[in-house]
Chains A and B, each alone.
Chain A
Amino acid sequence: MKHSSLSLPEVLDDAFAVAVRVASPWMGVLWLTALPLRFLQAHFAARVFELGAEAGEYGAHLLELATLTMLAFLLSLWGRAVFVRATGLALRSLESAGWEALRLAPVAGLSYVYAALVFEVLFFALGWTLVGLPLFVLLAGLAAATFPLNDRPGLLRPLREIARHGTPLRVLLGLLLVFGVALLIAALNLYFVFRLGLWLAGGVPGLDLTAWRGLLELTTPRFRLALLVGAGLAVEPYWLAALVVHVHKVRSRESGEDLKLRFARLRREAA
Chain B
Amino acid sequence: MVCRKVVCRECATEWDGINHCVTCLASRRRAERTRSSLLAWVAVLLTVGLLFFTSVRLLVWTGVFLASLS
Q: Determine whether the beta carbon of B63 is less than 8 Å from that of A48.
A: yes
A44-B63, A117-B51 given; A155·B35 CB < 8 A: no
Instruction: Report which of A48, A111, A121 forms a contact with B51, defined as CB distance below 8 A.
Output: A121
User: In B35-65, which residues have CB < 8 Å from any A CB?
Assistant: 35-36, 40-41, 43-45, 47-48, 51-52, 54-65
The segment out of A62-70, A94-102, A161-169 that lies at the interface is A62-70
Could you give, for residues 23-66 of chain A, a 1 whenever the CB lies within 8 Å of some chain B CB and a 0 otherwise?
A: 00000000000000000000011001101110110010011001
Could you give, for residues 235-271 of chain A, a 1 whenever the CB lies within 8 Å of some chain B CB and a 0 otherwise?
A: 0000000000000000000111000000000000000
> Quick check: is A204 within 8 A (CB to CB) of the other chain?
no
Q: How far is the CB of A48 from chain B (nearest CB, A)?
A: 4
User: In B7-48, which residues have CB < 8 Å from any A CB?
Assistant: 16-17, 32, 35-36, 40-41, 43-45, 47-48
Residues in A neighbouring B17, C-beta threshold 8 A: 254-256
Q: Determine whether the beta carbon of B67 is less than 8 Å from that of A55.
A: yes
> Quick check: is A118 within 8 A (CB to CB) of the other chain?
yes
Q: Determine whether the beta carbon of B55 is less than 8 Å from that of A113.
A: no
- CA–CA, A63 to B67, complex, Å? 15
Q: Determine whether the beta carbon of B62 is less than 8 Å from that of A128.
A: yes
Residues in A neighbouring B60, C-beta threshold 8 A: 59, 62-63, 66
| Residue tally, chain B, CB below 8 Å to A | 30
Residues in B neighbouring A200, C-beta threshold 8 A: none
Residues in B neighbouring A154, C-beta threshold 8 A: 40, 43-44
A48, A63, A113 — most chain B CB neighbours (10 Å): A48
Q: Determine whether the beta carbon of A63 is less than 8 Å from that of B56.
A: yes
- Ordered by A's residue number, 24 sampled pairs between the chains whose C-beta atoms are within 8 Å are A48-B63, A48-B64, A48-B66, A49-B66, A51-B67, A53-B67, A53-B68, A55-B64, A56-B64, A62-B63, A66-B56, A66-B60, A67-B56, A70-B55, A70-B59, A110-B48, A114-B44, A114-B48, A118-B51, A120-B51, A125-B58, A125-B62, A154-B43, A255-B16
Residues in A neighbouring B54, C-beta threshold 8 A: 121
Q: How far is the CB of B25 from chain A (nearest CB, A)?
A: 14
Grouping DSSP codes into helix (H, G, I), strand (E, B) and loop, the A interface class, with mixed when no group exceeds half, is helix
B44, B54, B55, B61 — most chain A CB neighbours (10 Å): B55
Could you give, for residues 79-111 of chain A, a 1 whenever the CB lies within 8 Å of some chain B CB and a 0 otherwise?
A: 000000000000000000000000000010011
Q: How far is the CB of B29 from chain A (nearest CB, A)?
A: 10
Residues in A neighbouring B64, C-beta threshold 8 A: 48, 55-56, 59, 62
Q: Determine whether the beta carbon of A111 is less than 8 Å from that of B44.
A: yes
Q: Determine whether the beta carbon of B62 is less than 8 Å from that of A124.
A: yes
Residues in A neighbouring B61, C-beta threshold 8 A: 124
Residues in A neighbouring B47, C-beta threshold 8 A: 114, 155
Residues in A neighbouring B36, C-beta threshold 8 A: 107, 151-153
Residues in B neighbouring A69, C-beta threshold 8 A: 59
Instruction: Across the interface, name the chain A residue whose C-beta is closest to B15.
Output: A255
Instruction: Report which of B44, B56, B59 forms a contact with A155, defined as CB distance below 8 A.
Output: B44
> Quick check: is A127 within 8 A (CB to CB) of the other chain?
yes
Q: How far is the CB of A92 from chain B (nearest CB, A)?
A: 13
Q: How far is the CB of A146 from chain B (nearest CB, A)?
A: 16
Residues in A neighbouring B43, C-beta threshold 8 A: 153-155
